[in-house]
Structure 1
Amino acid sequence: MIHAESPSAEEDLATVHLSDPPSIYESAMSSVRSPPSPPSDTPSLFRAITVTDPRREIEAANPLPGSTSFVTYSVTSSDHHHQALSVRRRFRDFVTLADRLSASHRGLFVPPRPDKSTVESQTTAQPGEFLERRRAALERYLRRLAEHPVLGRSEELRVFLRAEGRLPMAGPTDVASRMLDGAVRLPRQLMGEERPAAEEAAQPARSGRDMLRIFKEMRQAVVNEIGGARPAAAVEEDREFLERKERVQDFEQRLSTASQQAEMLVKCQHDLEETMGELGLAFIKLLKFENEEATCDSQRVRAVEAKRVATAAVKASRYYRELNAQTVKHLDTLHDYLGLMLAIRAAFSDRSNAQLTVQTLMSDLSSLHGRAEKLEAASSKIFGGDESRIRKLEEIRKTIRVTEEAKVCAVREYEKIKENNRCEFERLDVERPQDFLSMLKGFVQAQVGYAEKIANVWENIAEETRHYATDRTLSV
């Protein structure tokens, strides 16, 4: 960035004329058109989404001075019938949307939402700058959701974008409340007075509402880690998935390396921008000195030449600034895919948790069947049967029926997550080459186009100052 040290220098910079004719490269590339992307089989319900007008508001429940304030954003969406609707949403509503999508679409690569950076909001020199960054991040997040073939048509996103007034979706219960609820239920579960519904068993135990199952799944995880016997039907045998998982891990490492190199490139171009700007200022100062202290024609001639070099240096500095902005724009695809890696890991975690639930329920069934067989054998040895053993046997059989239903739901959920993983990998295989090809094409066009502009600047200077080399040759 150019730092002017005096008002007069800034005025001289403002007089520099930077208009240029279109470059040959730009003219040649203007005729090149990328082939249109194939239309999606399940287009999004929304054709355009914008987030604007951040506005600070006071909590309605406590309007006293000094009360907690929050920022709301105007979210405008238009459907394919060009019907636009605007609603106001606060950041907490975005958190609720993200949690609901993750819970209802397990196994999908749900784009991660922007983080709530309280520290950054307090330390940023310009509060408006922080709000603008967050606004842009939230807009980008919603557009990614809308572009997803499944999430873009989800009921959660539709309600978020179209429901007027306060968001009708209930926010997530905090972890402490869920754990407290689970602790209250635990004694009744241990006494056999309460059993979870089959549908509840299909959900991840780590939600905290079923402490007994949390302990059982922790035990099963330990058994898996130390190499104990696992239910054969629940062991991950999808070789294609395991190979894809390895490729994703390798891709993430390469992506991280490429992202670091992209940041280094941006820094180098920024340094060039500042260096060219400082060079231009130095020649402007020389120009002013020569004009103010000129006593002969040679000094006035040097002043004219100094202005030419200053103009060229400032032009080059601004071109480097524009180039850097284009570089950040195109190489931001790397950062987008780094964020996608978080979503992929979350989908893998959904799959592992669902598999662990199936393993735990199958282990429970095996244990229950063993207990039932022992009670049946013990009861058969007593003439007329043992009433207490018969009651226990009936309770165990009832528990077996409930656990069987839970296992069926858990297996169904696990298969659904596996299918979601497979579909997402297929989508990624199609979109990733297109995204990176577009990124590289834009990056190369920017680099070559601005390199040509900067070269033309210095070629013009070389042409205008050629007589110095001629005079030197004649003098020799």
Structure 2
Amino acid sequence: MMGPEAPSGFDPPLSSEVMECLPLSSTSSTSSYASAYRSVVTGDSFLFPSSSTLSSSSSFVDPPSYADAVFRPLQHHNGSNYSSISAAVTSRSGRASTSEYLEITVSDPQKENDAAASLVPGGGAYVTYLIISRTRGAAAAYSVRRRFRDVVTLADRLAGSYRGFFIPLRPDKGVVEGQVMQKQEFVEQRRDALEKYLQRLAAHPVIGHSEELRVFLRTLGKLPLLPDVASRMLDGAVQLPKQFFGDGCMTPQDAVQPARGGRDLLRMLKELKQSVTNDWGSVKPLVGEEDKEFLERKDWMQEFALQLNATSEKAEVLVKAQQDTGETMGELGLAFIKLLKLENDEAVYESQKVGASEAKSFATAAVKASRFFRELNSQTIKHLETLHEYIGLMLSIRNAFSERSDALLTVQTLLSDISSLRARADKLEAASARIFGGDESRVRKVEEIRKKITVIEDAKECATREYEKIKENNKYELDRFEKERHDDFLSMLRGLAINQAGYFEKIADVWGTVANDMSHYAKETS
């Protein structure tokens, strides 16, 4: 946000004060903010004063200066300053991660041409990004080049291998990407989104140690791609007639993967039918979700998501109000400077010039206060990023719960198939028994059905184990979520409170100085 500018051709007195109103260096302000923020998270003596902070002349604790806490770099217990962690691999709210990656950066976007896709209009150009990662104990950093399609492949592999975990969502692929690819703004937004996405993956206690992420960050050259959705759907359409007229049963290898991949259309149809039966049928499925604790936590999570969205809307109102206040304060100060310049030019007596000079200090104070409001708003936005992080996390949680529902649906579908095949085999056996000497064709058919039941039972066992694994993953993630949610929101609120107090103390100091300088007018009036 750009601050108010001084009128052209006007060089007001007290230029040193006006210069003091210019924005601070982003590096210095961020460093001191990060230091104060981390000291609050780790619980230093600022919030919990020791006996040494007690006044020697009073039994009360001397009130600390919030402004000093915000603007002065604080020391860690070992005496070293905290450093900026803007690019470091951290989990939400700056909490240290257990990941093996110390840092992941995405930079240097470069446009390249794909000869294989050059025949397609607009399909021959793409952008690659330089991804640099540093790991614990490694002497050198890893450096690879990746395009967005590689990131999509990484996300698909993680989704297939870590079902039930709260996997961070990858950036969306723009619908009009081909039209805006040439725009630098789009490329920079994607670069920033990819960097945050990889940092979130690395900060996850399980995903951060995955082989998939390690290969993506360390393997040079092009990565093998997974078949896209269109290819999988085409394969599924080709196999569908064979499944209808062949065995059409699910194998154990298929049972541990979700059906929505598109390669097995018959399975998708069966599971769709089972889902409709669960919702509208008169017969309950043979197994259901019996974890009452999970169902309660799921309901709570839905309510939490609604309240989170409402809180985020109010946070946006706060940011807008602080922005408007800062802009209005700056415009007021500059308007007074213009007004007082006219009076100063027309002043005849020395007393008039003195009065104009003192009034000008009021205008300068308004510009200073505007600067502090802008800085306060910038820090407020940084703290409130926690809300937006959790809104994105809600989508990851919903996906993890859907994985659980899908896995249960697979088990239900397989049990339904087994029950149907057993009923069919019993019916054939009964019909064969009514024929003297038996019916060889029916006997062979029964044997085929029994073999198919055996295969499906094996698949059901695999699907059940996959379901139980997803349940364990859900529980692990929910327990982690509850702990981190408490820490993250407490850190956010503490940081917001300290920044509000610190900046308003600075603003009060600015106006207090003006009030003291102009206090003699009150004495003269009385």
Identify whether the pair has TM-score above 0.5, normalized to the shorter chain.
yes
- Pair 1:57-2:85 in alignment: no
Distance 2:244 2:469 in 1: 31
Map of 1:258 onto structure 2: 311
> 2:216 corresponds to which residue?
160
**Structure 1 residue 405: Cα displacement:** 1.2
Return closer, same or farther for 1:272/1:292 CA change in 2, 3 Å cut-off: same
Q: Does the CA contact (< 8 Å) of 2:250 and 2:267 recur in 1?
A: no
- Give, as a single letter, the amino acid of the residue that structure 2 aligns with 1:382: I
* Alignment of 1:47 onto 2:88: no
Partner of 1:148: 204
Match of 2:476 in 1: 423
Moved more, 189-198 or 354-363: 189-198
Residues 1:302 and 1:312: Cα distance change in structure 2 (over 3 Å): same
**Which position in structure 2 is the counterpart of 1:187?**
241
Structure 1: distance between partners of 2:283 and 2:514: 78
Structure 1 residues 324, 13: closer, same or farther in 2, change over 3 A?
farther
State the match for 1:7 in structure 2: 8
Secondary structure of 1:7's counterpart equals: coil
- Aligned residue for 1:8, secondary structure, equals coil
Q: Which residue of 1 aligns with 2:510?
A: 457
> Is 1:98 the equivalent of 2:126?
no
Partner of 1:202: 256
Counterpart selection for 2:195 from 139, 156, 159: 139
Which deviates the most, 254-263 or 386-395? Answer: 386-395
Aligned residue runs from structure 1 range 378-417, under 5 A: 378-417=431-470
How big is the shift at 1:8? 3.1
- 2:332 is matched by which residue type in structure 1? L
- Between the aligned partners of 1:214 and 1:256, the Cα distance in structure 2 is 34
Alpha-carbon contact 2:67-2:506 (below 8 Å) kept = no
> 264, 283, 286: which is aligned to 1:229?
283
Deviation at 1:257, TM superposition (A): 1.3
1:44–1:147 Cα contact (<8 Å) kept: yes
State the 1:280 CA deviation: 1.5
Q: 1:110 aligns with which of 158, 162, 167?
A: 167
Aligned residue identity for 2:189: R
State the Cα distance separating 1:298 from its structure 2 match. 4.2
Cα distance in 2 for residues equivalent to 1:93 and 1:280: 52
One-letter amino acid of the structure 1 residue matched with residue 244 of structure 2: L
- 1:430 shift after superposition: 1.8
Find the counterpart in structure 1 of residue 85 from structure 2. Answer: none
- Aligned equivalent of 2:274, options 212, 220, 224: 220
Contact 1:379 1:386 in 2 (8 A): yes
- Supply the RMSD in Å over aligned alpha carbons: 3.1
Kindly indicate whether the alpha-carbon contact (under 8 Å) linking 2:256 and 2:463 is maintained by their aligned counterparts in 1.
yes
Distance 1:406 1:67, change over 3 A: closer
Q: CA shift at 1:33, angstroms?
A: 6.8
How many Å apart are 1:169 and its aligned residue? 3.6
CA distance in 1, matches of 2:450, 2:336: 92
- Alignment of 1:171 with 2:172, yes or no, is no
Moved more, 93-102 or 150-159: 93-102
Residue 379 of structure 2: aligned partner: 326
Structure 2 length-normalised TM: 0.81
Structure 2, unmatched stretches of 5+, are 25-31, 33-63, 83-89
**Deviation at 1:56?**
2.7
Tell which deviates more after alignment, 296-305 or 196-205: 296-305
1: distance between equivalents of 2:356 and 2:366? 15
Aligned counterparts of 2:175 and 2:354: Cα–Cα separation in 1:
58
Does 1:363 find its partner at 2:416? yes
Distance 1:245 1:173, change over 3 A: same
Letter aligned with residue 173 of structure 1: D
Q: 1:166-195 CA distances to partner (integer Å, 9 max, x unpaired)?
A: 2x2413412x32222212111111112554
Go from structure 1 to structure 2 and tell me whether the alpha carbon gap of 1:265 and 1:9 turns closer, same or farther (over 3 Å shift). Answer: farther
Worse-matched range after superposition: 285-294 or 97-106? 285-294
CA-CA distance at 1:415 after TM superposition: 0.8
In 2, Cα distance between equivalents of 1:173 and 1:98: 13
Query: Secondary structure of 2:371's partner?
Result: helix
- For residues 2 and 47 of structure 1, do their structure 2 counterparts lie closer, same or farther at Cα, with a shift above 3 Å needed? closer
1:7 is matched by which residue type in structure 2?
Answer: S
Match of 2:28 in 1: none
Report the number of matched residues.
466
Change (3 A) 1:123 1:310: farther
Higher mean alpha-carbon deviation, 113-122 vs 277-286, is at: 113-122
> Corresponding residue for 1:18?
20
Counterpart CA distance in 1 for 2:178 and 2:118 is 22
CA distance in 2, matches of 1:80, 1:71: 30
Counterpart-to-counterpart distance in 1, 2:330 and 2:67: 25
Once the 2 structures are TM-superposed, how far is the Cα of residue 12 of structure 1 from its aligned partner? 8.1
- 290-299 vs 381-390, which deviates more? 290-299
1:286–1:306 CA contact under 8 A, matched in 2:
no
Contact 1:230 1:359 in 2 (8 A): no
- Contact 2:380 2:496 survives alignment (8 Å): yes
How far has the Cα of 1:206 moved from its partner? 1.7
SS of the counterpart of 1:72? strand
Q: List aligned pairs for 1:283-362, cutoff 5 A.
A: 283-362=336-415
Structure 2 vs 1, CA of residues 41 and 5 (structure 1 numbering), >3 Å: closer, same or farther?
A: closer
After superposition, what is the alpha-carbon deviation per residue over 1:133-187, rounded to whole angstroms, capped at 9, x for unaligned?
A: 3322222211111111110010110011101122x2413412x322222121111
Residues 121 and 130 of structure 1 are in contact (CA less than 8 Å); yes or no, is this contact kept in structure 2? no
Distance in 1 between residues matched to 2:12 and 2:275, nearest whole Å: 70
Task: Identify if the C-alpha distance between structure 1 residues 180 and 67 changes in structure 2 by more than 3 Å, giving closer, same or farther.
Answer: closer
Q: Could you tell me the percent identity over the aligned residues? A: 57
Q: For residue 31 of structure 1, report the CA deviation from its aligned partner.
A: 6.3
Q: Distance in 2 between matches of 1:154 and 1:13?
A: 60
